[in-house]
Amino acid sequence: MIYYGRQSVNEQDIKAVEEVLRSDFLTQGPAIERFEQRVAEYCGVKYAVAVTNATSALHIACKAAELSRGDTLWTSPITFVASANCGRYCGAKVDFVDIDDVTYDMSVDELEKKLVAGGRPKVVVPVHLCGQSCDMERIYALSKKYSFTVIEDASHALGATYKDTRVGSCKYSDMTVFSFHPVKIITTGEGGMVLTNNQELYEKLVLYRSHGITRDASKMTKESDGPWYYQLIELGYNYRMTDIQAALGYSQMERLDTFVARRRQLAQRYDELLADLPIRIPKQSADTNSSWHIYVVRLDKTRTSKSKVEIFEEMKKRGVTLNLHYIPVHLQPYYQALGFKQGDFPASERYYEEAFTLPIYYELTDEQQDQVVKALREVLS
Ligand SMILES: *Cc1c(COP(=O)(O)O)cnc(C)c1O
């Protein structure tokens, strides 16, 4: 069976993890800092804070942005639920901005419309769906005009570029979040990271990652009682990544460009091999170079009568498990209970009717990809 994504772990990765297991520190040791520095350097950003996963990364990013009760967070309906849930963790209201019909990222026109109409989010979370960056320069300009914090959910987009920057540079945002779940571009098993160029945000992120405890005398409310002393100055969490995970992440960074190059090659092969089928292949805007976390196609319902359920079932019989990224978040029962309903975000709902995800990952061979294409050709004919 061919699945939509999987990790690539080699002997060097295993050795890196083994070294940590034989060392003095399993957590809070030197591997974390090394991994953070490596990712920061790669992305061209000042600060990086490694955490347990991208969900906790989004949570502390919202906390650092001081999102709280009475505030509002906006994100795209076509994302993993965590991009919206982070707002709810902070007690904030969540609202959505419909997607662009071509890139499937948050539509900046819709964002602007909603702002002009009087909407005042405290935080906006653009999601780089599939690994293709949103139009960050425009979003960032709007954030300056309307005073909101921009947190890029770049869970799909490590290794991608936007204009003259790497995604993660935070040139056009306040913070950027990555995920290192095994299906993502690199993995630490579970893991995430927040990047920023802002020292004040960085210090808050570090505080929230580790309980809200500080050992920095300059941040304390009174003089230290002695060498053992620390103070709890905020209500934080334990979102620390282990050194075991960080060592794996550091080792995986060595192959990041190789991973992304192969994903791009596979995407280009799909583009060519699928061109004549009754589906819409993904379009790339000129400013971006995607990392291709996922390859999403849309069924052209005017050219085929096959339903998506039929396609999923018939592909499975042929050894290929398809997937769907994502069910619009506003249609989830939890968000419906908050007042959202079918029809609220028509472009996202149309996308949901038509989209499905084909397998793409570093170790997928040309032969396996040909098998996927052959199966899809049979199913759609
Ligand atoms: C995977 C993913 C997340 C959550 O990542 P975890 O590391 O599993 O918490 C958040 N947002 C998007 C867009 C994702 O794809």
* Rounded Cα gap, residues 244 and 321, in angstroms: 31
Q: Is 288 in the pocket of ligand 1 (CB under 6 A)?
A: no
Average pLDDT over residues 166-190: 98
**CB-based burial label for 179 (10 Å; 0-12, 13-18, 19+):** buried
pLDDT the model gives residue 13: 98
Q: What is the CA radius of gyration of the chain?
A: 21
- pLDDT of 282-317, one tens digit each? 999 999 999 999 999 999 999 999 999 999 999 999
**Whole-angstrom Cα distance, residue 229 to residue 125?**
37
Give 177's pLDDT tier (boundaries 50, 70, 90).
very high
β-partners of residue 299 are 279
Q: Are strands 47-51 and 93-96 parallel, antiparallel or unpaired?
A: unpaired
| Angle in degrees, 0-180, between the axes of helices 136-146 and 108-116, rounded to the nearest 10 | 10
Longest dimension (CA), the chain: 76
Percentage, residues of the chain above pLDDT 70 = 100
pLDDT of residue 267: 98
CA of 307 to the centre of ligand 1 (A): 28
Half-sphere exposure of 314 (CA within 13 A, CB side): 14
Whether the full predicted model's pTM is greater than 0.95, yes or no, is yes
pLDDT of amino acid 250: 98
- Interval 183-234: pLDDT, tens: 999 999 999 999 999 999 999 999 999 999 999 999 999 999 999 999 999 9
Q: 49: CA distance to ligand 1 center in Å? A: 16
Q: List phi, psi (to 5°) of 278.
A: -75, 55
- At residue 66, the pLDDT reads 98
- pLDDT tens digits for 343-362? 999 999 999 999 999 999 99
Angle (CA) 373 301 349, round 5°: 105
Ligand 1 probe mutation, 52, 55, 180, most atoms within 8 A of CB: 55
Sign of CA dihedral 62, 63, 66, 72: positive
- Report the SS3 class of residue 132: coil
Can you tell me which residue has the tokens 């591997």?
A: 31
The beta strand positions in 197-354, using DSSP E, are 213-214, 231-232, 279-280, 288-289, 295-299
Phi, psi of 319 (to 5 degrees): 85, 15
Residue type, 86: C
Cα–Cα dist 48/83, whole Å: 19
Protein residue with least CA distance to atom 15, ligand 1: 155
Residue 191 is encoded by which pair of tokens? 């893991």
Q: What is the mean pLDDT of residues 28-38?
A: 96
Give me the pLDDT at residue 253, please. Answer: 98
Atom of ligand 1 nearest to the CA of 58: 10
- Looking at every residue in the chain, the average pLDDT score rounds to 97
Question: Which of 80, 127, 188 for a ligand 1 pocket mutation test, highest count of atoms within 8 Å of Cβ?
Answer: 80
Q: How many other CB atoms are found less than 10 A from the CB of residue 193? A: 29
pLDDT (tens digit per residue) in 242-282: 999 999 999 999 999 999 999 999 999 999 999 999 999 99
Is the CB–ligand 1 distance for residue 239 below 6 Å? Answer: no
Residue closest to 155 by CA, chosen among 187, 180, 137: 180
Amino acid residing at 279: I
DSSP single-letter state for residue 119: -
Q: How far apart are CA 100 and CA 103, in angstroms?
A: 6
User: How many A from CA of 53 to the centre of ligand 1?
Assistant: 8
Q: Tell me the mean pLDDT in the region 137-141.
A: 98
Over residues 328-337, the pLDDT tens digits come to 999 999 999 9
Separation between Cα atoms, residue 378 and residue 101, nearest integer Å: 28
Q: Summarize pLDDT for 56-87 with one digit per residue, the tens.
A: 999 999 999 999 999 999 999 999 999 999 99
89 preceded by cis ω (within 30°)?
Answer: no
d(CA 30, CA 27): 9
pLDDT at 43: 98
Q: Is 263 a pocket residue for ligand 1 (Cβ < 6 Å)?
A: no
